[in-house]
Amino acid sequence: MTEELANHYRHIISGLGEDPQREGLRDTPKRAAKAMQFLTRGYHQSLEELINGAVFESETDEMVLVKDIELYSMCEHHLLPFIGKCHIAYLPNGRVLGLSKFARIVDMYARRMQIQENLTRQIAEAVLQVTEARGVAVVIEAKHMCMMMRGVEKQNSSMTSSVMLGAFRENQPTRQEFLTLVNGR
Ligand SMILES: Nc1nc2c(ncn2[C@@H]2O[C@H](COP(=O)(O)OP(=O)(O)OP(=O)(O)O)[C@@H](O)[C@H]2O)c(=O)[nH]1
Ligand SMILES: [Zn+2]
């Protein structure tokens, strides 16, 4: 699989007018193939194996917020990175999720070809599925290289996307509390 991908990269390099045999580029197809496999490894992960049973019984029913989870993904239109932060909140319903698992869920979906809106929704739905929470809220703030390095070349714009499920959708004060916590840095 890596070898086949590397071959495609060799064609891309010569298609761009470079010499894939010159010293600096000789191992590049293989490196690029491995890098791209890493950046898309989310396709080979499953929620169940990643959670690994780390859901614990708890009486708490107050909002839990995990803020500023770094995020590296790749836009499915240009295969260029988008980079940012993800904030996840949920209202426990008898069970809480191991803290590190929020970051693992983010990575599993981020390391695929994505658009930011779908990524946001997939993370929210995964957290809801695993915790059976009364509500889940996810906000992603990201900068898209396809808008910065090429195309419209805007360096300072960023995109914010959000998905609110359950109580965060139905209950205005809950939603407001979440947004205040996220913005109060
Ligand atoms: N909504 C959304 N759009 C995205 C995301 N990533 C990239 N895009 C946009 O996808 C669109 C693709 O537009 P096209 O006109 O088909 O492609 P293009 O000619 O390369 O577009 P330009 O970037 O405007 O040069 C662009 O407007 C991108 O900015 C994302 O995560 N969400
Ligand atoms: Zn793009």
Residues 91 and 179 in one domain: yes
The range of the structural domain enclosing residue 13 comes to: 2-39
Kindly report, residue by residue over 35-81, the tens digit of the pLDDT: 999 999 999 999 999 999 999 999 999 999 999 999 999 999 999 99
Count: domains in the chain: 2
- Distance in Å, CA 44 to ligand 2 centroid: 23
Let me know if residue 44 belongs to a domain: no
Residue 185 has pLDDT above 80, yes or no: no
List the end-to-end C-alpha distance of the chain, in Å, as a whole number. 45
CATH code of residue 172: 3.30.1130.10
Distance, CA of 185 to CA of 166 (rounded, Å): 25
Distance, CA of 175 to CA of 167 (rounded, Å): 8
Kindly report, residue by residue over 70-122, the tens digit of the pLDDT: 999 999 999 999 999 999 999 999 999 999 999 999 999 999 999 999 999 99
* CA-based radius of gyration for the chain: 20
What is the residue with the minimal CA distance to atom 30 of ligand 1? 115
Please work out, in degrees rounded to the nearest 5, the angle formed at the alpha carbon of residue 119 by the alpha carbons of 175 and 34: 150
Mean pLDDT calculated for residue range 158-170: 97
Q: What is the mean pLDDT of the chain?
A: 97
Here the ipTM equals 0.88
> Is 116 touching ligand 1 by the criterion CB < 6 Å?
yes
Let me know if residue 148 belongs to a domain: yes
Query: Can you give the pLDDT at residue 90?
Result: 98
Q: Which mutation among 74, 77, 148 tests ligand 1's pocket best, with the greatest number of atoms within 8 A of CB? A: 77
Q: Which mutation among 73, 109, 123, 146 tests ligand 1's pocket best, with the greatest number of atoms within 8 A of CB? A: 146
Confidence of residue 184 (pLDDT cuts 50, 70, 90): confident
